[in-house]
Structure 1
Amino acid sequence: MLLSSRVLDRPTVGYLKRQISNIGYSKQEHEILWREEKLSKARNDCMDLLQKHDVSSYLLSKFYPRELRDMFLVVKAFNSNLAKIALGSSIESNQFTKLKFGFWQEQLDRCERDISSSPNSTLPRNMGEPVVTLARECLRKGIKLNFDNLRQMITSYQHFCTDEGVRGFKDTYSICSFGEGVFSQINYTLRDALFSPKFPETSRFSLELMDCIGKERLENLLNDIYAHLGQSTAIASFLLGSRYYATSRSQVLLPADSIAKQNISQEEILRFLQSEDSSQQIDEKVRELVFDVATVANDHLLSARIKFNDLKSEIHNLVDKEGSLELKLGWEQLNHGVPDAMFLPMMNGLPTVCFLEKLEKYDFDIRNPNLSIKDWRLAWKTYRSYSNRVI
């Protein structure tokens, strides 16, 4: 009994840690330490998510200015979380899937309300979701975040889960529509963040350019480029994931009109994707089918490149005709005449470029295991793209 009392009288480890942590720190300093620890954990969680599910985005994040990199992590991690819900929708009830999307909708609403009511307030202690925690801090620093774009992404994924994810895509236009609702929205959101006025080193030239007379054509070109790249990314994503959907969900998400064009049934394609063996005739038809779909993705890439060349010319024309002396001096210092704030979102199309090149290399054999292997060339391509301003 005496021993038991002595043990109970001893302070707990948690109590000792709290006492030690309180030595020499004010309440305000404790709040700062807690916030930095919380943000560091949220940042690391988002990076870990990308390293596991979206390696190419983890690589692309390194090209963003340090002060704006967190917003890139927010947008990409947000998309990864939504994609995980969509991938798991076939083994979960519709109601449960709806609840998961509803959770993210509520998180966005809460974050927007919080920053609107008290933009300079400290980080709320009950905001635990890493993506939202990091987004809240980005907003506090003055980085722009278009919540409407993020809500559109939720809507597009929800529609996919209840429609194309169940019945398949009718045509490539349907895939492009999904790409516009998800991947193009990512590009638009990142563009808005990079145009944040509170970070003039990145945004000054672009914002001044947007004040020039005749900026409408420039803005339209930018939006068209981001849209084409987003639609191309969607097509490439479903081509890459076609075998996963066939083996894990017994679904064919290749467009129905392209399948009908090759005079082949979805059942034949499903068996083809689920096995290693097939007749030469089926193999040739599937390759033709994949070629037709990949051609649409490549056409969007070509359109983006053409408009990108037009964008370079338009920037030069605006600077030459309408720009101030300061703007002209700024243009001369740009990398190949295009500012980072406009170009960085375009780099999201590089993984699609790599995939389509590999697909052509392996003669459009969608079952080739090399297609899903991480491409070591992506690091070199991203550096080359950023340095030379090519997509």
Structure 2
Amino acid sequence: MLSFRAARRCSSAVSQAKKFSYSTAAEAPTDPAAYCRELVRKHDYESFLISKFWPAGQLQDGYLAIKAFSTELAMTQDNVSVPTIGAVRMQFWRDAVRDIYADKPPRHPVALAIHRTTQSANLPADALVAHAESVSSSVLYLLLALRGLSGAEDLAHAASHLGTAQTLATLLWSLPHHASQRRLPIPLDLCARHGVKQEDVFRHGGNANGVDAAVYDFAVLANDHMLTAREVFKGTGGKVPAVAMPVFLAGVPVATFLAQLERINFDAFARSLAMRDWRLSWKIWSGYYRRMF
């Protein structure tokens, strides 16, 4: 049974979470698509660049709605310092998915945009739920469904491995942030293999070589998944079907990051990694027209 003080903290957390869930209703723009576009532009610039290669109109709006949903989930998980608030916010999104498919979306602009997308595309509800539960690759499954490709098993297989590579690369990219919050995204057993303790990662000192060796192993795993995803398209010379290419453009930033990490000898704490690659726009453009990632 909760103590009075604990119950009061829980009640306060729920109240704050509800304010988060519904405070946007009065402020929501008349066009949820515009809200999603701006949210992705501010918080996921790589996906914003990729959005330009989705056909304008419903498909591009749908892509941005899915990416905005992904951004909301990431921000909820990363920015909430009180676990109770985070849990309630995540529950809001789980409930939102249920209500979206019951044609009763909450008046949150991202939920409204996702609902609008479900009216024109067959987005599987289980993939949205899986994404809310942080299951890797689910966002790529949603994007394949948006393009009407949910039944293509080879594409789903490639998306699964690309999604895993993307997740691993994101963890490496965010390692300095996680370390500053005294969190360790790299498995402990992998660190122990190189004689690395949590404190070594948190301060990145004293045992820097061991940390870099653990990062190397993690990066190799990410790259292996990238290679497996590309292997699916070996029969076409590595070229992705044109209709699916906007989905697999997600691999371009991943490959770019892994190559950059290799050039600096797998120092995940190097400041250069935090800088935006000015060539990324060109790389995405080139990948789209070569149909390779």
Cα distance per residue 1:169-212 (max 9 Å; x no partner): xxxxxxxxxxxx13x111111111111xxxxxxxxxx79xx7xx
The CA distance in 2 between the partners of 1:303 and 1:226, in whole Å, is 10
Superposition pairs for residues 42-191 of structure 1, below 5 Å? 42-67=32-57, 68-89=59-80, 91-93=81-83, 95-114=84-103, 127-140=106-119, 142-156=120-134, 181-182=135-136, 184-191=137-144
- Residue matched to 1:296: 221
Contact 1:39 1:133 in 2 (8 A): no
Q: Which has the larger radius of gyration?
A: 1
Distance in 2 (alpha carbons) for counterparts of 1:192 and 1:380: 27
Contact 2:35 2:109 in 1 (8 A): yes
Indicate the SS of the match to 1:114: coil
Q: What is the CA–CA distance in structure 2 between the aligned matches of 1:46 and 1:135, rounded to whole Å?
A: 10
CA apart distance, 1:128? 2.4
The one of 179, 185, 196 equivalent to 1:264 is 196
Residue 283 of structure 2 aligns with which residue? 381
**Residue matched to 1:365:** 267
The answer on 1:230 being equivalent to 2:170 is: no
Aligned to 1:333: none
The Cα of 1:135 is off from its aligned counterpart by: 2.1
- Compute the TM-score of the two structures, normalised by the length of structure 1: 0.64
Q: 2:185 aligns with which of 253, 268, 281?
A: 253
Partner letter of residue 261 of structure 1? R
Match of 2:153 among 202, 215, 220: 220
**8 Å CA contact retained: 2:200, 2:208:** no
CA distance in 2 between counterparts of 1:339 and 1:81 reads 29
Cα 1:230–1:363 shift into 2, 3 Å: same
Alpha-carbon distance, 1:352 to partner = 0.8
Deviations 1:260-314 (A, max 9, x none): 1101211122121xxxxx34xx12211111111100001111111111223x389
Q: How many residues align structurally?
A: 265
Question: Are the equivalent residues in 2 in contact too, given 1:187–1:226 (CA < 8 A)?
Answer: yes
Amino acid corresponding to residue 153 of structure 1 in structure 2:
H
Q: What is the deviation of 1:39?
A: 7.1
Which position in structure 2 is the counterpart of 1:354?
256
Verify the 8 A CA contact 2:242 2:291 in the aligned structure 1.
Answer: no
> Which structure has greater helix proportion?
1
2:175 is aligned with 1:242: yes
1:287 counterpart (207, 212, 216): 212
After superposition, where does 1:270-349 map in structure 2 within 5 Å? 270-272=202-204, 278-279=205-206, 282-310=207-235, 312=236, 338-340=241-243, 342-349=244-251
- TM-superposed deviation, 1:97: 1.7
Shift of residue 138, structure 1, vs aligned partner: 2.4
Q: Deviations over 1:41-81 (max 9, x none)?
A: 31221112111210000000110011301110111110110
User: Where does the alignment leave 5 or more consecutive residues of structure 2 unmatched?
Assistant: 1-27
Q: Is the CA contact 2:131–2:138 (under 8 Å) kept in the aligned structure 1?
A: yes
Q: Distance in 2 between matches of 1:39 and 1:109?
A: 23
Per the TM alignment, residue 136 of structure 1 is displaced from its structure 2 partner at its CA by: 2.4
* Aligned residue identity for 2:140: N
* 2:124/2:142 contact within 8 Å kept: yes
Q: Secondary structure at the match of 2:259?
A: helix
Q: Distance in 2 between matches of 1:251 and 1:356?
A: 22
Whichever residue aligns with residue 250 of structure 1, its letter is R
CA shift digits 1:143-172 (9 cap, x unpaired): 22222101011123xxxxxxxxxxxxxxxx
Identity, % of aligned positions? 28
| Aligned-residue offset at 1:337 | 7.4
Equivalent-residue separation in structure 2 for 1:72 and 1:234 (angstroms)? 19
Q: 1:339 deviation in Å? A: 2.9
Please provide the CA RMSD for this pair.
2.1
